[in-house]
Amino acid sequence: MDELAFPDHYSYIADDLETIASAYNSLKAPLKYIITTEKDAMRIREFTDIEEPVKSALFYVPIGVTFLNDDKDEFDNLIVDYVRKIRKISDFLKDKGFTQPVAGIILGTGLGGLTTSIENRIEIDYKDIPDFPVSTVDGHEGKLIYGDLGGKKVVAMKGRFHFYEGHGSDMIALPVRVLKYLGVESLFLSNAAGGVNPDFRIGDIMVITDHINLLPNPLIGTNDDRIGVRFPDMGVAYDRDLIDQALAIAGKHNISVRKGIYLATTGPTYETPAEYKYFRIIGADAVGMSTASEVIVARHANLRCFALSVITDLGVEGRIEYITHEMVQAEAEKAEERIATLITELISSL
């Protein structure tokens, strides 16, 4: 056995390659190996003129990680298995034909109709996708739909997952991460929301410019650097160019839109009058039970985000009326066509 030592974090030069090759050639064993660290193996292989016998003799030793607190299983579950699961689901979908989508779409309560405009579609029920969560809410059908919208390949989630259904952060984050692994670069979201801005009316569409997240942050827990950074910036959560383009598209089609801040709360109760008032005081224009979580996960994975709310009821002092989920669904459905026009044209402009 011969041993060659190079400094830590070393950048190899052509002469070093000759040194390694001559040490290798002077070994007298029938089977000869060069064992390095993983990084050194990568660096050495980068030389294109490396001799073939040397190249194929190159092996690296995997680094062993020692767990001090006997928490290897937890680590495997949290990091290794989780990323494997995301890959497995996206590979499954790619095999089904979900190839190279540019945009992801997540549709809110009563707003699934946009998917009827998707052409050349492939549909899969969430329940038929291995390891995928299933949605339990009426008005959220639970289907992933791939196809052409606005001349672009898209994947739409007809039905989303909410904290109030009991899904943990990992499950809320999973579909967005699957979209990212499929190759999506932008995410378009819609939701039904209660208006707390006194200028708003039922049926208005609000372009979300920012959010206040009062849901548990979906990134709480161990961070996987392969997905995104530990402390993601949220300075521009909603893409400014997409907002400007949406406003222009709305103007062109005579669709009146508001701009505003969406506040996400856990639900499943709608708000008391005092809560609506409080949300207005802290800066919200509309309140709902979704979207902010998905946008946080999407920004963590560096996706561009654009989101719309349909104002289905009002939480404005003196104008609050009794509401039910069915009323929210019915009001949202009335806005479907306008939402579809805005999102389809935005996607076609990507």
Nearest to 337 by CA among 123, 138, 110: 110
For residue 336, state whether it binds ligand HPA (rule: CB under 6 A). no
For residue 288, state whether it binds ligand HPA (rule: CB under 6 A). yes
Q: Which of 86, 192, 261, 342 binds ligand HPA (CB under 6 A)?
A: 192
The least CB distance from residue 282 to ligand HPA, in Å, is 15
For residue 111, state whether it binds ligand HPA (rule: CB under 6 A). no
With contacts defined by CB under 6 A, name the span among 44-52, 167-175, 186-194, 231-239 that binds ligand HPA.
186-194
The least CB distance from residue 256 to ligand HPA, in Å, is 20
Q: Which of residues 250-269 bind ligand HPA (CB under 6 A)?
A: 267
Nearest to 345 by CA among 315, 306, 319, 310: 306
CB atoms within 10 A of CB 83: 15
For residue 210, state whether it binds ligand HPA (rule: CB under 6 A). no
The Cα–Cα gap between 340 and 249 comes to: 12
Phi/psi-derived region of residue 320, left when phi > 0, alpha when psi is between -120 and 50, beta in every other case: beta
DSSP 31: S
Interface size with ligand HPA, residues (CB under 6 A): 13
The least CB distance from residue 273 to ligand HPA, in Å, is 11
Using CB atoms within 10 A of its CB, is residue 75 exposed (0-12), middle (13-18) or buried (19+)? middle
In terms of CB distance, is 21 or 327 closer to ligand HPA? 327
The Cα–Cα gap between 253 and 52 comes to: 64
Phi and psi at residue 215, in whole multiples of 5°?
Answer: -90, 160
In terms of CB distance, is 115 or 190 closer to ligand HPA? 190
Binding mask 26-65 for ligand HPA (x = CB under 6 A): ----------------------------------------
For residue 193, state whether it binds ligand HPA (rule: CB under 6 A). yes
In terms of CB distance, is 193 or 339 closer to ligand HPA? 193
Q: Which of 20, 50, 287, 343 binds ligand HPA (CB under 6 A)?
A: 287
When computed from its CA atoms, the radius of gyration of the chain, rounded to whole angstroms, is 26
In terms of CB distance, is 186 or 312 closer to ligand HPA? 312
Q: Tokens in use for 46?
A: 């980068």
For residue 313, state whether it binds ligand HPA (rule: CB under 6 A). yes
Residue 206: C-alpha distances to residues 5, 97, 251, 253, 309 (Å): 63, 34, 14, 16, 5
The least CB distance from residue 276 to ligand HPA, in Å, is 7
The least CB distance from residue 348 to ligand HPA, in Å, is 29
Q: Which of 194, 218, 228, 260 binds ligand HPA (CB under 6 A)?
A: 194
CB atoms within 10 A of CB 139: 20
In terms of CB distance, is 142 or 194 closer to ligand HPA? 194
Using CB atoms within 10 A of its CB, is residue 14 exposed (0-12), middle (13-18) or buried (19+)? exposed
In terms of CB distance, is 135 or 344 closer to ligand HPA? 135
The Cα–Cα gap between 181 and 91 comes to: 9
For residue 312, state whether it binds ligand HPA (rule: CB under 6 A). yes
The Cα–Cα gap between 52 and 54 comes to: 5
Binding mask 143-172 for ligand HPA (x = CB under 6 A): ------------------------------
The Cα–Cα gap between 281 and 261 comes to: 12
Binding site for ligand HPA (CB under 6 A): 192-194, 267, 270-271, 287-289, 312-313, 315, 328
